[in-house]
Copies of this chain bind each other. A is one copy, B any other.
């Protein structure tokens, strides 16, 4: 190390501490880029604890690992507690999400779980921001308390690890097997461990692992855990290194919450925060009024459409009689399609890229339903009113059902593709949309057939 460099370092450290204080994280990132590990260790050792945590967090993943390993164990644990510090967390939390993705590389798997370990749930959520896991990702919900083993260890050695982990691990019933690089090579169940003779090596006992990335949507990871019937699902970073574990009871809680939200949104209601009977009337009103207003404003379109056709309506008042029936049937057909496709999406049976297949299917289903209802409508309306009226009703039903099923089926997928909760394009939303379309179809067909 030359005197020159030392001067440079002193200057750099001064600048860095100023930049951290003025929350200029981009500046810090720029200043530490391209330095060697030993330089960075040197910088780290000469900053205050909080400053050190900030600098460390701005390192690229590989470099962060090297710096961390180069620190003395006492300094390592100081660093971990500084990273958990609420000032540091709030500094990163205040970053624009896009900046955060850009500035914060994944933390090495050697550090990430240590950061979360022992924190109560509330604080874990905050610290997950420091880890850089996106909102609603499983990285924010996983537990960092697990027992692991190694393929070369024996069953009895692993049982000893289980015994040691009994009082703090989230679960001891599913044990991830890690290779030398902390990558998940398999899982072994406590049951299989107990059934095996003590000398059996884990490599023979372990089964192929299922796992989810920490950045996966929490709902998807929870559904994977539940669908596979697993008691716990290992959570890994982008290099398949273990960073946490999701247990089935947490997965069930996540799914239940999501299902309550989906069901609420489909009904055009904001999800309630507490049980129905203990929610104040005011909050119930608030959970519904916004959507109701949006939908009512949307429905003014129907008034405008009817105004356009007011002359037709004046000439043949009988047309007005069928308006609720026709748009109601359209709404129902649209809701049926939307309900089926939304659920299929939630269960992972359908994906955004299936949109053309869904379109093709819903056109056919809607057309079939339309033919059935249309024939019936024609047969019933003709004797009561007249042949032209019957024909108008029948053809409108065919067209409306086809359009409604198609819109209802495609809308949730389109929402999903642009990363909007498909349930937001709720049944009431689709009804309102289909109402307007249905009225236009109705009057266009009526004018053509009745020659007005």
A336 contact from B268, B276, B302, B324, Cβ within 8 A: B268
Q: Which of A282-315 contact B (CB under 8 A)?
A: 284-285, 287-289, 291-293, 295-296, 299-300, 302-303, 306-307, 310, 313-314
Q: Check if A347 is an interface residue, CB within 8 A of chain B.
A: yes
Q: Which of A202-253 contact B (CB under 8 A)?
A: 226, 229-231, 248-249, 252-253
Closest residue of chain B to A226 (Cβ to Cβ) is B252
Q: Check if A327 is an interface residue, CB within 8 A of chain B.
A: yes
**For the complex formed by this chain, how many copies does it contain in all?**
2
A331 contact from B230, B343, B344, B428, Cβ within 8 A: B428
Question: A195 contacts B166, CB within 8 Å?
Answer: yes
Question: B195 contacts A341, CB within 8 Å?
Answer: no
Question: A339 contacts B264, CB within 8 Å?
Answer: yes
Q: Which of A327, A340, A342, A354 has the most chain B CB within a 10 Å cutoff?
A: A340
Question: A260 contacts B167, CB within 8 Å?
Answer: no
Closest residue of chain B to A251 (Cβ to Cβ) is B252
Known: A194-B163, A249-B248, A300-B325. A369 touches B281 (CB 8 A): no
Binds B, one of A44-52, A92-100, A106-114, A357-365: A357-365
A320 contact from B281, B289, B313, B349, Cβ within 8 A: B313
Question: A321 contacts B328, CB within 8 Å?
Answer: no
For A166, list chain B residues within 8 Å (CB): 191, 194-195
Known: A263-B343, A269-B339. A324 touches B299 (CB 8 A): yes
Q: Check if A1 is an interface residue, CB within 8 A of chain B.
A: no
A375 to chain B, nearest CB (A): 12
Question: A320 contacts B292, CB within 8 Å?
Answer: no
Binds B, one of A128-136, A149-157, A431-439: A431-439
Question: A268 contacts B190, CB within 8 Å?
Answer: no
Q: Check if A127 is an interface residue, CB within 8 A of chain B.
A: no
A-side interface mostly: helix
- Report the separation of the CA atoms of residues A354 and B267 in the bound assembly, to the nearest whole angstrom: 22
Residue pairs across A and B with Cβ atoms less than 8 A apart, 8 shown, are A252-B252, A267-B336, A284-B340, A291-B336, A292-B336, A295-B332, A313-B317, A323-B324
Question: A288 contacts B336, CB within 8 Å?
Answer: yes
- Report the separation of the CA atoms of residues A311 and B39 in the bound assembly, to the nearest whole angstrom: 91
- Report the separation of the CA atoms of residues A143 and B365 in the bound assembly, to the nearest whole angstrom: 40
**Other CB < 8 Å A-B pairs besides A248-B249, A285-B372, A291-B332, 13 of them?**
A166-B195, A173-B231, A231-B248, A260-B343, A267-B338, A281-B361, A285-B368, A288-B369, A289-B372, A292-B333, A292-B369, A295-B329, A303-B322
A194 contact from B162, B281, B369, B435, Cβ within 8 A: B162
Closest residue of chain B to A326 (Cβ to Cβ) is B299
Please name the 10 residue pairs, one residue from A and one from B, whose CB atoms are nearest each other, closest first: A267-B339, A276-B344, A302-B324, A275-B349, A229-B249, A299-B325, A332-B428, A320-B320, A306-B321, A166-B195
A297 to chain B, nearest CB (A): 9
For A190, list chain B residues within 8 Å (CB): 173, 190
Closest residue of chain B to A169 (Cβ to Cβ) is B191
